[in-house]
Structure 1
Amino acid sequence: MLALILAGGRGSRLNMGEKPLVTICGRPMIEYVLDAFALAGCETMVVASPQTPYTRNWCRAHGIALYSAGARGYVADIVEAVTELGEEGPVVTSVSDIPCITPDLVARVQETYLEAGTPALSTWVPAARCTGSALRLSYQECIDGVATCPAGVNILLGARIAEEQEEYRLLVDDPALGLNVNTRADLALAARRLCPDATGVSWSSGHES
């Protein structure tokens, strides 16, 4: 499947420049996400925008497929990218600020989608596992009796991208998907998870490189 990694927002809540390029354990945050999808067998492409020029330059410099969207909003940029790319099959979409996501989690999402038989799939995490944006925590749904938050990973059928699609809601009780980086405290948590054996683990603005 094609995986679109959304990286067109300002990242103003973190206030460290373009969030996809904020480094954790010496690597840009977005690189962890790209690697997880690639290792799960996905074809990856970053969807950036005029609001993230450094991210676009980083993608070009590293030979990463890039689509420059119009920065009209998260959903609008997805619709634009899928439409312009002419994708009619299932397309995975992901936020770029969940650096602890793993190839196994990506594979589980894809396998569940294929088994569900619905045009779309959304992924959810128990609210008790969620960290990061208050906006994320404010949007909750009850799945199997559990209060959940959106994980930021979804699958949509490209041929029906402009329509509302029937979806299967997948509940994943895993802190790796619950860690949505929006604060420096979130960055510290991500660093401890991604390189637990490192001493003096740090993170920095991606604009320093």
Structure 2
Amino acid sequence: MLALILAGGQGSRLNMGEKPLVTICGRPMIEYVVEAFTLAGCETVVVASQQTPYTRNWCRAHGISLYSAGARGYVADIVEAVTELGEEGPIITSVSDIPCVTPDLVTRVQEAYQESGTPALSTWVPAAHCTGSALRASYQEYIDGVAACPAGVNVLLGARIEEEQKESRLLIDDPALGLNVNTRADLARAARRLCPEAAGASDRFGRES
């Protein structure tokens, strides 16, 4: 399945430069996300923009497929990328600031989509696990009787990318998918999860010890 990793925003809330390249345990945040989708068997493409020139350079330097979108908004950039890439099959999309996502979680989303029978699938996390984006945490719906917020990972059918698509909703009860990095406190949480063995991980934000 084609995976689009959206990395075209300014990341102004974190205020540490281009957010996809902010390091956690010595690695750029986006590297964790790209790796998770790649190891789950996806053909991964990073969707960047003129707002993230260093992210584009990083992708080129590391041989990661890249599409440069017009930075007209999250949904608009997805539509543009899918249209220009000519992809008509299912596409999994993801934000680039969920560094704790794992290949197993990505595989779970893909399998749920294949079983759903709907053109689209959205992924949700119990609201109790949602940290980082206040906007995301404030947007809640009840999924399977649980207050939940969007996880930032979805599946869409490329052939219908400009249409509203009927979707299934998948609730994943995993704190790793709920950690959306938007503040330095979120970076500390991510570091504690990704490199708990490193002394001072919650303070380093990726600097070598």
User: After TM superposition, is the score higher than 0.5?
Assistant: yes
Give the deviation of 1:138 after TM superposition: 1.4
Q: 1:54 is aligned with what amino acid?
A: Y
RCO greater where, 1 or 2, for CA within 8 Å and sep 6 or more?
1
Query: In the alignment, what sits opposite 1:203?
Result: 205
Where does residue 7 of structure 1 map in the other structure? 7
Aligned to 1:78: 78
Residue 68 of structure 1 is matched in structure 2 by 68
Alignment partners' CA distance in 2, 1:53 and 1:200 = 31
Quote the offset at 1:204 in angstroms. Answer: 5.7
Give the structure 2 partner of residue 109 of structure 1.
Answer: 109
Give the 5 Å matches for 1:30-49: 30-49=30-49
Q: What letter matches 2:57 in structure 1?
A: N
SS of match in other structure, 2:148: strand
- Cα displacement string for residues 70-113 of structure 1 (whole angstroms, at most 9, x for unaligned residues): 00000000000000000000000000000000000000000000
1:185 corresponds to: 185
Unaligned runs of at least 5 residues, structure 2: none
Deviations 1:158-180 (A, max 9, x none): 00000000000000000000000
Question: How many residues are matched?
Answer: 205
Letter in 2 for 1:107: T
C-alpha RMSD over aligned residues: 0.9
Separation (CA, whole Å) in 2 of partners of 1:11 and 1:60 = 21
Q: Cα offset for 1:157?
A: 0.1
Structure 2 counterparts to residues 38-187 of structure 1, below 5 A: 38-187=38-187
Structure-1-length-normalised TM-score? 0.97
Identity of aligned residues (%): 85
In structure 1, the gaps of 5 or more residues are none
Give the secondary structure class of the aligned counterpart of 1:137.
Answer: helix
- Aligned counterparts of 1:147 and 1:203: Cα–Cα separation in 2: 31
Distance 2:200 2:10 in 1: 28
Q: Which amino acid aligns with 2:87?
A: E
Q: What is the letter of the counterpart of residue 149 of structure 1?
A: C
**How many angstroms apart in 2 are the aligned matches of 1:67 and 1:203?**
28
Q: Distance in 2 between matches of 1:192 and 1:33?
A: 17
Normalising by structure 2, we get a TM-score of 0.97
